[in-house]
Each structure stands twice: as structure tokens, then as C-alpha cells.
Structure 1
Amino acid sequence: MRRRLLVLGAATFLAVGGSVALEMISSSDEVCAAQAKTSFSDDVVPILTGHCYSCHTPGGQGSQKSGLDLSTYDGVMHGTKSGKMVIPGDPDSSNLMWLLEWRGAPETHMPLGKKKLSTCDRDTIRAWIREGALNN
């Protein structure tokens, strides 16, 4: 009898724990892959290409308006007509993160008029900045 109660208790524990874990996984947007080091060319450029290049390349509407050219590393590091977008080592003070995390007025939410970048994409850019915003 005691053994049966232990088995029943264990099964209940696993069922509840599994349900909670499944809910935690399904309630998050996605699970991000852990990386040892973030690469500008391998990790950041594909995000910029997919979400930012249509406006922030030479001749693009965003580039003309703000001066921000995201098509090259030098363009990213140069910033806008108003100043730097990336402060190496300090993602919280970097204007790029401020815009991507939608911390300002709706007209400053990037990418403009589109959905917010995924948490994983924002975390990748944040990690790259935290690691020194290297041209790697």
C-alpha cells in the first residue's frame, strides 16, 4: 500500500511538474540558443538585413531622415545625425537598444511600422554590444 502511494505521489508530481514546464515553455515567445561569443557578421548582420536594411541603407528612407546606415559596421558605429547609436560595452545606454526595445514614443519604435524584433534578436544585439560591439 505504501509503495502504491509513493508511486501515485511521484506520478502526480511529475504530471504537475511537466504541465508547469510545458506552460512555461509555451508561454515564452521562443527559446534562444546560448552563444559563447556574439559575432557581428554571423549573428548581428542577419538580423539587420532581415529587419532594418530596407530603410537604413544608403538612399533608404530611414538613412536619409536620420543619417543611420546599417549596411556596414562603420555605418552602425557612426550612428545618426544626432549621435552614436552604439556604446560598446553598454547596451543599456546604447540608443540602438532603446529604439529596438520600444522605450520611446511610437514614432521611434524600430523597425518603424513593423512588429517588434523577437526577444532572441534583441538579446543577440544586446550581447554583441555588451561584448564590446566588435567588428568580428
Structure 2
Amino acid sequence: MNRAIKFATSMTATIAAVLVVAAGMPRWVGEACAASSPPPPISFSEDVQPLLQFRCGSCHTPGGEGYAKSGFEVSSYESVMKGTKFGQVIIPGNPDESSLMRLLDWRVSAEIQMPHGKKQLSICDRDLIRTWIFKGAKNN
């Protein structure tokens, strides 16, 4: 048997052993994790705004190309909630209907996907914004 097959066989045995041990764990072990405190709420000022500023600020602040075309500015809560010259981009409580999420999820034509001409925000970053919107898009 070559080395790769021996390694795969030993890894399969190791994984099987871990699963057997995990299956025998007392029920309360999982419950302890579930009973831990919930994560803190997403904060606009500490979580969302720094992300928007970092990924969108070069275009969506006065003087930037995105700001000139859309009027959308990410420098403050008020400016984000104001939206664009075309209308509101965030509908508190409804990320699926919020234009910002459609733009960030690339559920729009390629010409207006955000960030324009750059790498898409990670799923984690988009989910952070989505959750903030879902929870009411509060200024916290």
C-alpha cells in the first residue's frame, strides 16, 4: 500500500473514532453550548459603518465616483439611511427588499453590482449587513 492510501485509511479510522466518542457524549455537553449568552447585537457604529467605510468609502463619499453617480454616502448613519438620489436603499426589517442587499449580493445587472469593479464582499460581511437590516437597521 502506498503512503497516500495508508494515510487515508488512518484518517478514516481516526474520524470514525471521534464520531463514536462524540455520539457517546452526555446530552448536557451540547446544551451547555446552546445555553451560552447570545452574541451582542450588531452595532452600526462598531460593525456596519467601519465595514461600509472600508469597502465602499473610496467611491461613496463626496468627491467619489459612486457618490457623484448615485448620491449614496457611507460616512454616517444618517447618510446611509437617506439612500441615493434614486431613493431609499435600506428598508429596516426587510433585507430582501433593501436595494443595498440586492447590490451587494449581486442580484442586479453587472453594471451596478457593488462594489463596482471590485471583489464581492464576503458572505460574512454581507450577512452582517443583512442581519443589521433585519434587526431594524438601528443607529446603535
Fold agreement, TM-score > 0.5: yes
Larger radius of gyration: 2
Mapped to 1, the partners of 2:15 and 2:77 lie a distance apart of 54
Task: Tell me what 1:46 maps to.
Answer: 50
The residue that corresponds to 1:111 in the other structure is: 115
Distance 1:38 1:14, change over 3 A: same
**Aligned residue pairs, count:** 112
Q: Cα distance, 1:16 vs. partner?
A: 8.2
1:80-95 matches, cutoff 5 A: 80-95=84-99
- Residues 19-71 of structure 1, C-alpha deviations (whole Å, 9 max, x = no match): xxxxxxxxxxxxxxx83311001110121121100000012110111010111
Task: Name structure 1 gaps, 5 residues minimum.
Answer: 1-8, 18-33
Query: CA–CA distance in 1 between the matches of 2:117 and 2:15?
Result: 47
The TM-score, its normalising length taken from structure 2, stands at: 0.73
- CA shift, 1:12, in A, is 5.8
Aligned in 2, Cα 1:15/1:89: closer, same or farther, shift over 3 Å?
A: same
Q: Output the amino acid matched with 1:13.
A: A
Return the match for 1:55 from 45, 56, 59. 59
Name which structure has the greater RCO, CA cutoff 8 Å, separation 6+: 1
The answer on 1:13 being equivalent to 2:44 is no
Which consecutive segments of 4 or more residues in structure 1 shift more than 6 A?
none
- Among the aligned pairs, what percent are the same residue? 54
Write the distance in 2 (CA, Å) between the matches of 1:12 and 1:135: 46
The RMSD of aligned alpha carbons is: 2.2
More divergent stretch after superposition (44-53 vs 34-43): 34-43
Q: Structure 1 residues 61 and 11, CA, compared in 2 at 3 Å: closer, same or farther?
A: closer
TM-score under structure 1 normalisation?
0.76
What 5-or-longer segments of structure 2 have no aligned partner?
Answer: 1-11, 21-37
